[in-house]
Amino acid sequence: MVKILIKDASVLTFSSREDLFIEKGYVFIKDGVVAGVGKGDPPEDLQYPELLINGRGRLVMPGLSSAITSVTLYPLRYRLRGMSWGEVGDYLSVLTRTDVYYLAALTFVELATRGVSSVMVTDVYLDSVARAAKDVGIYATLAVPFNCGIKDFDPEGELRLLINRWHGRVEGVNAAVLTCREDDEGVYSLAKEFGIKVFVLEPSSSDVVRHGSVICVNPAEGGGAGVVRFGDGLSRWGPDEGLGVGVRPSYSMLDVIKEVAWRTGKHPIDVLVASTLVNTSLIGFDGMGAVDVGSKANIVMFNMSEPPGWPIPSSIDSVVNAVVGGDLRVESLIVNDDVVVDSGETLNVGADLIKKAVSRFEPVIKKYYTLGK
């Protein structure tokens, strides 16, 4: 396991034990866990890492998280609002597991280069999505969709595949279920059998959380803890709720954060907390949110040494305004003990895979972007 030291950085910790904002400090990572964080120079026993990162002119904070995401619809994100559910179903029916792997890799590359270190994905063929998440280097909770009208899809079989291959066996991959029918006791029983979370899509009320480990996604009524918003539901977001990209033209949580802060008028720091600490907890990665001793390493670093990030903030208010209202450039993303993004480029997935994936889907894109013309 690699020891990583970030020195001379501005650090937004979201810690309950350390200062919320450290103007000049350090973060030390050992065995994929934050082993030290503080002001000034690190103590002598933390000064000899295998990887030293100069944080001068940089802002460090917890990695972002998306509490609901689709990968198969990623190539249709500019076109989706103009498509019928029948067209979407037709598109999904032609995808293979290999197709879904490439689509997930493309999606995760965009998310990672925009500072996202963990996601909840609900989609088909989640075994392939798990492999892509592992290859790119981000954490993923994979919610198998039940009762959502997807043709020729065996959700229970897919869930058992995830349980047998990934859940509890591979670091950073969790299984879950998503149901489009809030009254399906069979889904709740299945989730209880495996000890996994249940996400309920668009229930009539957030009261459905009474079932236990249940997360309500865009409930028609109610809100609060245990609720996730995305899409049009972002306008109803409130503190203690999660939020996600869902499917949108930009798979950027920074754009989601800006939209929520602008549309709701809620305090920007509450929105940042939701997109880091709240989201990671909701999707099942407790202990991953804050930059805090003992937390799983989960760090995004922004370059603020030059425009568009410059000047580097010197107070908590200016830091929050920079992240929420600015246009910061992601320089690095660290998940566990792995540098996933460096100098804005993903390290684990190269250009060859991206080119192959793009070439593979050119005929599909051409077909579905001409529908309805």
Same-domain status, 92 and 195: yes
Same-domain status, 197 and 253: yes
* Residue finishing a domain among 234, 253, 282: 282
Same-domain status, 157 and 219: yes
Angstrom distance (rounded) from CA 192 to CA 197: 8
Same-domain status, 20 and 71: no
Structure tokens at 78: 């500019």
| Three-state secondary structure string covering the chain | CCCEEEEEEEEECCCCCCCCEEEEEEEEEECCEEEEEEECCCCHHHCCCCEEEECCCEEEEECEEEEEECCCCHHHCCCHHHCCHHHHHHHHHCCCHHHHHHHHHHHHHHHHHCCEEEEEEECCCHHHHHHHHHHHCCEEEEEEEECCCCCCCCHHHHHHHHHHHCCCCCCCEEEEEEECCCCCHHHHHHHHHHCCEEEEECCCCHHHHHHCCEEEECCCCCCCCCEEECHHHHHHCCCCCEECCECCCCCCHHHHHHHHHHHHCCCHHHHHHHHHHHHHHHCCCCCCCCCCCCCECEEEEEECCCCCCCCCCCCHHHHHHHHHHCCCEEEEEEECCEEEEECCEECCCCHHHHHHHHHHHHHHHHHHHCCCC
Contact, 325 vs 269, CB < 8 A?
Answer: no
pTM of the model: 0.94
Angstrom distance (rounded) from CA 192 to CA 190: 5
Same-domain status, 19 and 70: no
Pair type for strands 139-146 and 116-122: parallel
What lies within 8 Å, CB to CB, of 36 at 6+ separation is 26, 27, 28, 42, 43, 46, 293
Same-domain status, 54 and 80: no
Per-residue pLDDT tens digits for 129-184: 999 999 999 999 999 999 998 888 899 999 999 999 999 999 999 999 999 998 88
In-domain check, residue 356: no
Same-domain status, 189 and 236: yes
In-domain check, residue 273: yes
In total, how many domains does the chain have? 2
In-domain check, residue 131: yes
In-domain check, residue 353: no
pLDDT at 324: 94
In-domain check, residue 242: yes
Please choose, from the candidates 118, 117, 199, 119, the residue with its C-alpha nearest in 3D space to the C-alpha of residue 155. 199
Same-domain status, 49 and 178: no
pLDDT at 201: 95
Q: Which domain holds residue 155?
A: 64-282
Task: Read off the CATH number of the domain in which 103 is found.
Answer: 3.20.20.140
Contact, 304 vs 312, CB < 8 A?
Answer: yes
In-domain check, residue 48: yes
* Residue finishing a domain among 282, 305, 325: 282
pLDDT at 183: 87
pLDDT at 90: 83
Q: Which residues of the chain have pLDDT under 50?
A: 372
pLDDT at 17: 80
pLDDT at 146: 96
Same-domain status, 56 and 71: no
Same-domain status, 77 and 177: yes
What lies within 8 Å, CB to CB, of 56 at 6+ separation is 7, 8, 9, 305
In-domain check, residue 170: yes
Task: Read off the CATH number of the domain in which 24 is found.
Answer: 2.30.40.10
In-domain check, residue 365: no
Q: How far is residue 286 from each of residues 38, 83, 223, 292, measured CA to CA in Å?
A: 22, 37, 21, 13
Same-domain status, 275 and 126: yes
pLDDT at 212: 60
Same-domain status, 91 and 190: yes
